[in-house]
Amino acid sequence: MTSYIMDKLYDRVEKRGVVCVGLDTSLDYIPEHLKEGRTSSEAIFEFNKQIIDATYDVASCFKVQIAYYEALGLEGLTAYKKTLEYLRKKDEIIIADIKRGDIAATAKMYAKAHFEGDFEADFITLSPYMGMDSIEPYIPYIESGKKGIFSLVRTSNKGAEDIEYLDTISGDKVYHIVGDKLMEMGKDFTSSCGYHPLGGVIGCTHVEEGKELRKRFNSMFFLIPGYGAQGGKAEDVAMYLNNGNGGVVNSSRGILLAYKKENREKEFALCAREEAIRMRDEIKKAVNSL
């Protein structure tokens, strides 16, 4: 079965590199000159728009973290809606980082919320705690070829050991089992690029496991957080990729706040571009050194 969106993301990585620009836009990230004469909602959208315009040709996709917008209520969600509209108009790939996790009728409502209407994205992130019936309601959208998901599988935060890394009596850890089940569900949707649109969120800071996971979940596309601000290095990331594809690597604050390192407020968008290029090239180099 062909997945239009999975092949599109794969092609974008081939052409533009693995960088996923994270639009976790907090009001206090926005330079003062951009806030003048604008409502919060307008300032956030203007900031995002300039970041998008400055980075899209060196990034495979954009990840929009909805929590930052929800925190400002309807005002924030208006900026969220406008940001997604702008990305869709530019034909950029949107990953909505929503980590919703519910079942049955409720999950169908979340699918409708984030695959249609005001908040339409191409991919969404999901939390699988309630089991695979928290993923199934999204399958009709996946069957259309136009949408995909990234389920949490194995993250790199300290608390990941509380549940994800627990050893089960089968010999596998919880995250192995989650990943295996996603692979099983995804295999019918493996597209011509070799991956299926039931991707996994896989943290990159346990480099010793990178090879093992890449092999076990060989047709799973990875959304890799934790680069930069959260401690992941280019050499770590490279282990989770297949010749530099098979995943995208997110950076949010590293890109959005690149201007702060050099006090170049007015050039925040150019600084973001420079950082995205630096990151892309650093990872490319690490991949080539493997």
Interface residues with its own copies (CB under 8 A) are 24, 26, 65, 67-68, 70-78, 81, 99-107, 109-110, 112-114, 117-119, 127-134, 136, 152, 155, 157-164, 166-169, 174, 177-178, 181
Report the Cα–Cα distance between both ends of the chain, in Å, rounded: 32
Q: How far is the CB of 207 from its own copies (least distance, A)?
A: 20
* Cα atoms in the Cβ-side hemisphere of radius 13 Å centred on 280: 24
Q: How far is the CB of 122 from its own copies (least distance, A)?
A: 17
Q: How far is the CB of 199 from its own copies (least distance, A)?
A: 16
- CB proximity list for 61: less than 8 A, separation 6 or greater: 9, 12, 20, 21, 92, 93, 94, 95, 122, 123, 248
Task: Give the residue from 200, 147, 171 showing the smallest Cα distance to 9.
Answer: 147
Catalytic residues: 99
Q: How far is the CB of 15 from its own copies (least distance, A)?
A: 30
- CB proximity list for 224: less than 8 A, separation 6 or greater: 201, 202, 203, 204, 232, 237, 240, 247, 248, 249, 250
**Nearer residue to its own copies within complex by CB, 114 or 273:** 114
**Nearer residue to its own copies within complex by CB, 46 or 180:** 180
Q: How far is the CB of 115 from its own copies (least distance, A)?
A: 10
Cα–Cα distance, 198 to 189 (Å, whole number): 8
**Nearer residue to its own copies within complex by CB, 129 or 266:** 129
**Nearer residue to its own copies within complex by CB, 175 or 189:** 175
Residue 184 phi/psi, 5-degree rounding, is -60, -45
Q: How far is the CB of 116 from its own copies (least distance, A)?
A: 8
**CA-based max dimension of the chain:** 60
- For residue 50, give the DSSP letter: H
**Nearer residue to its own copies within complex by CB, 59 or 174:** 174
**Nearer residue to its own copies within complex by CB, 114 or 147:** 114
- CB proximity list for 219: less than 8 A, separation 6 or greater: 183, 186, 187, 190, 194, 195, 196
